[in-house]
Amino acid sequence: MSESILNHFKDLKSKGLNIDITRGKPDSSQLDLSNKLLKMNVEPITDDGVDLRNYGEPSGIKAARELGASLLDAPIGNIIAGEQSSLLLSYQTILAHYIHGKPSSWKSLEKPKFICPVPGFDRHFRIFDDFDIEVITVPLIEDGVDLAKLKNVLDENQNVMGIICVPRHSNPSGEVYTDENINGIFTIGKAYSDKFLFLFDHAYLIHDFLPTKKQTPTWQLALNNNTNNQTVIVTSFSKVTFGGGGLSFLAADGDNLDLIKKTRLSMVICPDKINQQRHVDLFKNKEDIESHMTKHANLIRPKFETSYEILGSISDDYGTFSKPTGGYFITYKTSKPIASEVIELCSVLGVSLTPAGATFPNSNDPNNNIIRIAPTFIDEDELKIAMDVFITSVQVAHLGLKT
């Protein structure tokens, strides 16, 4: 068997492949779904008399905020419709508390810390790195965050300022948090401090491609737990219309919302209202967005199913993988500590994967066994080859074969 694996490895190497499955990006057929945006004429004055061409409306135009309110199930008074990046809104939220946090700015505290469930999103870790805020990790389990571990971490640490979660189709392992789990996060965090910040990055809020368990809207859960003043929820259209060319939305309340608005005003006088208007002309309501997202789902689903089939074709003695019902990633967990070796072998065969360790702070995967796969950007023929490269590399590394 080892010989046939090695022969196949050599055969793949001779093809001179160049395939990139590093980042979760929509493919061009998905982008085509929103091509209307490229040609839309925008009336310069809105129905409520706002001149889109000028400064004004720092929290976004009313129609865009209404769309955000319907997506995040929060009242329009709690919504900012921002620029094109929800990551920017997350960054601005952390920045706001770092500089102006009440009763104490985070920068004035000794060793502020923030909790990131792992595996997680590399760019979240980068935000905290920028502020020299220590990241404390808590493992994800099937239902969401490991609540017992979360409680332990809070029992043992001072100045933990909050937690950032991707509660639906978590990046990269695809967990969909249960309501009980989110309620548990609120209960534990609120008991720790009435300033503990719950930052929910809902990047994949409407990105199901297979039946997915229902969640009560996160804003509603925050209200039920009386934690709305400590909660910030962000989402965007980056994987609805154009990557980096959509709209972003934020829901928050009270002092928290005021703080974020104040900090944003120091850097952006107002968002691009013309792009906001284009989007609200394209999507009149939530139903329009949902039917658009069904088209995305139909394009994405076959790619995930193909990946599941090929990854499942080798024994789970080699490793196991997540089977998300939405989002953009699959996580492969090797049974031996060989993730970096597998990624290196894939690169030798011409397939680039997210660097080893990227789903952990400081790029340090303690067990060296988590690999993120992003199957959406390439076409299905390339994907089949990439998955073949992947399972071949897993086998070679696991069996310790010399190539």
Ligand X SMILES: Cc1ncc(COP(=O)(O)O)c(C=O)c1O
The minimum distance between CB 86 and ligand X, in angstroms, equals 3
Q: Is 322 one of the binding residues for ligand X (CB under 6 A)?
A: no
Cβ closest to ligand X, residue 9 vs residue 114: 114
Contact yes or no for 150/122 (Cβ under 8 A)? no
Distance, CA of 111 to CA of 101 (rounded, Å): 15
Does the N-terminal peptide bond of residue 172 adopt cis geometry, omega within 30 degrees of 0? yes
Size of the site for ligand X (CB under 6 A): 13
Q: Which residues lie below 8 Å from residue 380, measured CB to CB, with a gap of 6+? A: 302, 303, 306
Q: Is 72 one of the binding residues for ligand X (CB under 6 A)?
A: no
Q: Is 238 one of the binding residues for ligand X (CB under 6 A)?
A: yes
Phi first, then psi: give them for residue 225, nearest 5 degrees: -90, 0
User: Where does this chain touch ligand X (CB under 6 A) — which range of 73-81, 149-157, 176-184, 236-244?
Assistant: 236-244
Cβ closest to ligand X, residue 59 vs residue 236: 236
Q: Give the strand pairing for 330-334 and 370-373.
A: antiparallel
Residues 161-200 that bind ligand X (CB under 6 A): 166, 171
Distance, CA of 312 to CA of 391 (rounded, Å): 9
User: Where does this chain touch ligand X (CB under 6 A) — which range of 79-87, 278-286, 316-324, 343-351?
Assistant: 79-87
Among 248, 277, 307, 393, binds ligand X (CB under 6 A): 248
Among 30, 236, 334, 395, binds ligand X (CB under 6 A): 236
Label residues 91-117 b or e (16+ Cβ within 10 Å = b): bbbbbbbbbbbeeeebeeeeebbbbbb
Q: Is 203 one of the binding residues for ligand X (CB under 6 A)?
A: yes
Among 12, 19, 24, 168, binds ligand X (CB under 6 A): 24
Which of these, 220, 214, 165, 219, lies nearest to 189 by C-alpha position? 165
Q: Is 376 one of the binding residues for ligand X (CB under 6 A)?
A: no
The minimum distance between CB 143 and ligand X, in angstroms, equals 19
Q: Which residues lie below 8 Å from residue 141, measured CB to CB, with a gap of 6+? A: 175
The minimum distance between CB 125 and ligand X, in angstroms, equals 12
Among 86, 173, 227, 241, binds ligand X (CB under 6 A): 86
The minimum distance between CB 15 and ligand X, in angstroms, equals 29
Alpha helices by DSSP H, listed for 15-143, are: 28-32, 36-39, 62-72, 86-100, 122-130
Residues lying near ligand X in the complex (CB under 6 A): 24, 85-87, 121, 166, 171, 201, 203, 236, 238, 244, 248
